[in-house]
Amino acid sequence: MPPSQVMTGLIAATMDSDAEGYGLINDAAIVVSEGIIDWVGTATALPKRYAGLQRQDLEGRLVTPALIDCHTHIVHSGNRAREFEMRLNGASYEEVARAGGGIISTVTATRSATEEALLASALPRIDALIAQGVSVVEVKSGYGLDVKTELKMLRVARQLEQQRPVRVVTSFLGAHAVPAGMGANAYIDTICLPALEAAHAEGLVDAVDGFCEGIAFDTAQIARVFDKARALGLPVKLHAEQLSHIGGTALAAQYGALSADHVEYATPADAAVLAAAGTVAVMLPGAFYTIHETQAPPLQAFRDHGVPMAVGTDWNPGSSPMGSLLLAMNMACTLFRMTPAEALAGTTRNAARALGLTDCGVIAEGMRADLAIWNISDPAELSYGIGINPLHARLFGGVV
């Protein structure tokens, strides 16, 4: 355990839900003890009992909760740069598919990679996120589509947490795509549900996800996966309404999902049911940008109904090869017109909520001391910069 210490000379963006906007405290002090935030407030109000503690002057820097990337697919093998290039040279979808492109190419590569190789390729990705002040990363399976590889992906996700000072939250995404030569229902019965049971038995699953889309699984098929999740006592989340409106958002809300992700084609009625269910809407502007989507998610409806909004990278080799959560915040502002305060809440407080975590995401007494210290003084700069990383230091459980 690191020694107890007082940080002073800082501006705290606490992101505390009771506070408006950033929950800013100018000339703040934060007391960290045994990896936990013991006290936060204005320096002049620091209780006398902390007078003897070691002090660190942060020279006017901004301190936020460490960031949380609540939607990634960083465990995968290979990349799809070739098909990116083919498409920009005018190749059609069919030509790309015939050349072995698309999601199935990532499945093939991920199946043939050893656990060690998968881990080796995922480590630099999680390092890139950590270098931007990220302390929690959600990681999905979904590029195996067979029992063995789905479990392999989740084991690698768990290993990331052993190898790096970071917390990993896993989502089982067996219902990501239908493997070639198989019907969706048969796939769910013979592979997806048995894989979920096996992964859960091994303690590999924190939540269950699915891709509810015309090119993947319909609501009735996802409901069967969610029923199994419910029977196992696991929370659910869903890729919903990304390319079209087929009812995934309402289904997610019906199952009390932690989050509904993408939601470009969600409607104001969907916003109302999300709000009633307490489900977080996760914005993934990297995918919107990459696939040249033009339909932006209904932000104003989310605001009007009080739907909590989060922001993630969706880091995956196909629709969002994006290794920067700060860039995702910038794009959420520029492409979706989120405010910088909403974007920061979306990678702290609301991202924690999208993962079902209650001990991080805000700077408040009793929370984990997962903090990001930035070389800036205005929190809007985090969303304003494009490809700029102003991180000074990151505390993970109180450790620099």
Rule CB under 6 A: which residues touch ligand DI6? 103, 106, 176, 211, 239, 242, 287, 316-319
Q: Closest separation between CB of residue 142 and ligand DI6, Å?
A: 7
Please, which residue, 325 or 373, has the CB nearer to ligand DI6?
325
- Minimal distance, residue 368 CB to Fe ion, in Å: 26
Q: Which residue is nearest to Fe ion (CB)?
A: 314
Among left, alpha and beta (phi > 0; psi -120 to 50; other), residue 40 is beta
Instruction: Name the closest residue to ligand DI6 (Cβ).
Output: 318
Residue 34 · residue 3 · CB < 8 Å: no
Q: What are phi and psi of 303, to 5 degrees?
A: -60, -50
CA distance 330 to 387: 9
∠173-175-177 over CA atoms, to 5°?
Answer: 110
Contact pick of 69, 314, 342, 370 for Fe ion (by CB under 5 A):
314
Nearer to Fe ion by C-beta: 270 or 314?
314
Residue 280 Cβ vs ligand DI6, minimum distance, rounded to whole Å:
17
CB of 2 to ligand DI6, least distance (A): 39
Which structure tokens are listed for 138? 């959600």
- Enumerate the β-bridge partners of residue 315: 72
Q: Which does 319 bind (CB under 5 to 8 A by kind): ligand DI6, Fe ion, none?
A: ligand DI6
Question: Is-contact 77 121, C-beta < 8 A?
Answer: yes
CB closer to Fe ion, 69 vs 314? 314
Beta bridge partners of 56: 7
Residue type at 133? G
209 binds Fe ion (CB under 5 A): no
Residues 6+ apart with CB under 8 A from 359: 366, 367, 368
Instruction: Identify which of residues 72 and 106 has a Cβ nearer to ligand DI6 in the complex.
Output: 106
**Cβ distance to ligand DI6 smaller for residue 288 or 374:** 288
CB 51, min distance to Fe ion, A: 49
Tokens of 151: 């479990």
Give me the residues that bind Fe ion (CB under 5 A), please: 314
